């Protein structure tokens, strides 16, 4: 499978209706920020105004702890920013530290760029003008330290290149974020709203960087890149610091429970973040099939036979269902 | 002012709260397709699935009368497609038939293209590789006939270029649409959902063209370009043929009422569609200011001192308020 979160293929192969499935194929928080029962009709009817956008940006600035010298642009999902970066960056090769989220390499390749796959920042060749690092990494949760990232960004500055830092899962631990680097180094930080806030269908993501860099991204996005509901809900959720703090604890607790079920099912926990767990098993692919036949969908990888990725189940019932399915074996 | 539909600037200059203002600066239907009181929580929480996207495409195919050989891609608003086209089209100059919606020229210029402004298809020089026509045109409502468009598209085919046909306001009269041309000519038709359906904040727009052309656009957009609510509401609204038929009549009626008020206020109706009216007055700019002081916002143009554009007021009370304001003069 190409992506988590799309049951279309799972249903085509194994039947069932979407509601029958326990979808653990994503890293999306199953307990979303509580959207209001009814949104103001305005957010649907009129074009988003500059005032709406400014309110979202102010909330993002605070939530992400942005320093004064940095700027931010919002888009209809981080993916849209991933699509644009290869068209806006200076010519040259891009090194992608992986294995990681596959769409970075796809987007640069489709835009005609040469992509170099490396497994560590230390392996990046001199010829690379840009580097993509997902931090914490998806699916293994590896965290690249700030000192190494700063060294890499400084080298790229000399080459006219960008360090693209995809912090899609950094909300689970704000200390991971490199947002403080954005004032003087050519770093583009991508922040995803939908994962931590559990509202992936809303489509909202951010690019953070120097004012000059963000101006170029915003010019490419053009006017009204975000929907009215995304601006309204995004601003309110990002302002809700108590919810975010509480959610970080809850996710850690839920990830711990999931680990217990997986270990009991014969898995070894290899890595992850509190929004998804990467687990190893000698019969991983067989188990993936066995779970799918019981309409439980997790993530497999074409580069590793022995690994599966599990998102958090929505509550203890989902956890029990997974435990029961794993007890049956393959 | 740069755009309709953004009261931020009007409020900064003339005060008032957004709700105090009668915003006639857009061409957005003030009586939107009735969105359900509550959307399925899924559309907010999970990533849109391929099945969701297929359902929207099928509805668009039918609503826009697409021929079998054509294909369609959806984006978070037509503006997003306008932003991408200059990056995807073959190298070369673009001729924009105007005066028209300003963002076409802006997008091509920002992408580094030479833009040639022409006032008629007949003026397009041999050197132009691409042509942009808004049909019906905004703000004057001019309709370019299909024969002329086909001739232009055939010429561009020889040059490897595209005819970009922005049909943002074609829903008011489906006979205007050139969608039938899309099977063998290099025509990119842009359809805007938000204007006719009165849901501009939803951000939903379409590109229609040959399968090869649409494949390139879809590849640039990447996965999940539209939000869950946009897919859900868009598909349901586009399937609602009775609403669309009724709305076409209602808009014609409302535009007629608006014309009467404008003519009584000393304007001459110069053009428009049933979603907006272009009206001439020797003191147009003074009247724009006088209306703004009464918190009525219409559209002025930097290329014409004597013209204002008015969208439809939301109901007779708005119409009466406009009539009273115009009776005061400037």
For B19-39, what is each residue's pLDDT tens digit?
899 999 999 999 999 999 889
Dihedral angle of Cα A62, A68, A74, A79, to the nearest 10 degrees:
-100
pTM of the predicted protein model? 0.97
**With 80 as the cut, is the pLDDT of residue B1 above it?**
no
Residue B330 is predicted with a pLDDT of: 73
Kindly list the residues from chain B whose CB atom is less than 8 angstroms away from the CB atom of residue A50: 6, 8-9
User: How many A×B Cβ pairs under 8 Å?
Assistant: 168
Residues A227 and B229: beta-carbon distance below 8 Å: yes
Nearest to A227 among B30, B37, B202 (CB): B202
**With 70 as the cut, is the pLDDT of residue B123 above it?**
yes
Say if the Cβ atoms of A76 and B203 lie within 8 Å: yes
- Positive or negative, the Cα torsion across B241, B242, B248, B254? negative
User: Mutation test of the interface with chain A: which of B45, B55, B85, B202, choosing the one with the most A Cβ atoms within 10 A?
Assistant: B45
Residues A303 and A284: beta-carbon distance below 8 Å: no
Closest-approach residue (CA) in chain A for B204: A227
Say if the Cβ atoms of A45 and B28 lie within 8 Å: yes
pLDDT band at A1 (very low <50, low <70, confident <90, very high): very low
Show the tokens assigned to A326.
Answer: 């794993």
Strands A276-280, A268-273: pairing is antiparallel
The phi and psi torsions of A238 (rounded to 5 degrees) equal -65, -25
B136-165, pLDDT tens digit by residue?
Answer: 999 999 999 999 999 999 999 999 999 999
Residue A4 is predicted with a pLDDT of: 65
Closest CA to A287 of A310, A254, A317, A313: A310
Provide mean pLDDT across the span A242-253: 98
Residue A234 CB neighbours (<10 A): 29
First to last CA, chain B: 19
Provide mean pLDDT across the span B163-190: 96
How many residues appear in chain B? 330
Could you list the beta-strand ranges (E) of chain B: 22-23, 71-75, 93-97, 115-118, 128-134, 163-166, 187-192, 205-209, 268-273, 276-280, 296-297, 299-301, 304-311
Percentage with pLDDT > 70 across chain B: 98
pLDDT band at A317 (very low <50, low <70, confident <90, very high): very high
Show the tokens assigned to A184.
Answer: 């003087």
Kindly list the residues from chain B whose CB atom is less than 8 angstroms away from the CB atom of residue A35: 44
Kindly state whether B42 is in contact with chain A, defined as any CB-CB distance less than 8 angstroms: yes
B237-258, pLDDT tens digit by residue?
Answer: 999 999 999 999 999 999 999 9
pLDDT band at B325 (very low <50, low <70, confident <90, very high): very high
Kindly state whether A28 is in contact with chain B, defined as any CB-CB distance less than 8 angstroms: yes
pLDDT band at B176 (very low <50, low <70, confident <90, very high): very high
Helix axes A211-221, A78-88, angle to 10 degrees: 110
The helix/strand/coil state of A209 is strand
**With 90 as the cut, is the pLDDT of residue A6 above it?**
no
Return the half-sphere exposure (C-beta side, CA atoms, 13 A cut-off) of residue B49: 20
B134-143, pLDDT tens digit by residue?
Answer: 999 999 999 9
Mean pLDDT of chain B: 96
d(CA A48, CA A43): 7
Distance from CA of B199 to the nearest CA of A (A): 4
d(CA A83, CA B223): 9
- Tell me the DSSP string of B97-149: ESS--THHHHHHHHTT--EEEESSGGG--TTEEEEEEESS-TTT-----HHHH
């Amino acid at each position: 499978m190409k992506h988590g979160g799309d049951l279309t293929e799972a249903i085509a192969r194994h039947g069932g209706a979407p509601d029958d499935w326990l979808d653990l194929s994503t890293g999306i928080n199953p307990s979303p920020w509580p959207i209001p029962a009814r949104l103001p009709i305005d957010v649907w009817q009129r074009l988003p105004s500059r005032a709406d956008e400014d309110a979202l940006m102010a909330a993002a600035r605070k939530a992400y702890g942005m320093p004064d010298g940095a700027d931010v642009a919002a888009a209809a999902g981080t993916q849209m920013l991933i699509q644009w970066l290869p068209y806006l960056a200076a010519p040259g090769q891009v090194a992608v530290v992986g294995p990681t989220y596959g769409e970075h390499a796809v987007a640069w390749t489709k835009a005609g760029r040469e992509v170099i796959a490396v497994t560590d920042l230390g392996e990046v060749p001199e010829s690379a003008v840009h580097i993509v690092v997902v931090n914490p990494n998806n699916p293994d949760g590896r965290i690249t330290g700030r000192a190494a990232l700063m060294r890499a960004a400084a080298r790229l500055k000399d080459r006219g290149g960008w360090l693209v830092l995809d912090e899609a899962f950094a909300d689970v631990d704000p200390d991971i974020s490199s947002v403080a680097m954005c004032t003087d180094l050519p770093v583009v930080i991508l922040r995803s709203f939908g994962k931590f806030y559990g509202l992936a269908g809303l489509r909202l993501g951010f690019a953070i960087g120097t004012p000059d860099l963000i101006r170029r991204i915003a010019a490419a996005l053009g006017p009204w890149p975000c929907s009215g509901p995304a601006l309204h809900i995004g601003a309110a959720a990002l302002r809700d610091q108590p919810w975010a703090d509480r959610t970080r604890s809850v996710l850690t607790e839920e990830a711990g429970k999931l680990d217990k079920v997986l270990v009991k099912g014969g898995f070894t926990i290899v890595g992850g973040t509190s929004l998804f767990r990467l687990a190893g098993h000698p019969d991983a692919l067989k188990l993936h099939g066995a779970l799918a036949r019981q309409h439980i969908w997790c993530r497999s990888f074409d580069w590793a036979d022995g690994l599966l990725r599990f998102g958090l189940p929505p509550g203890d019932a989902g956890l029990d269902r997974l435990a029961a399915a794993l007890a049956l074996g393959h």
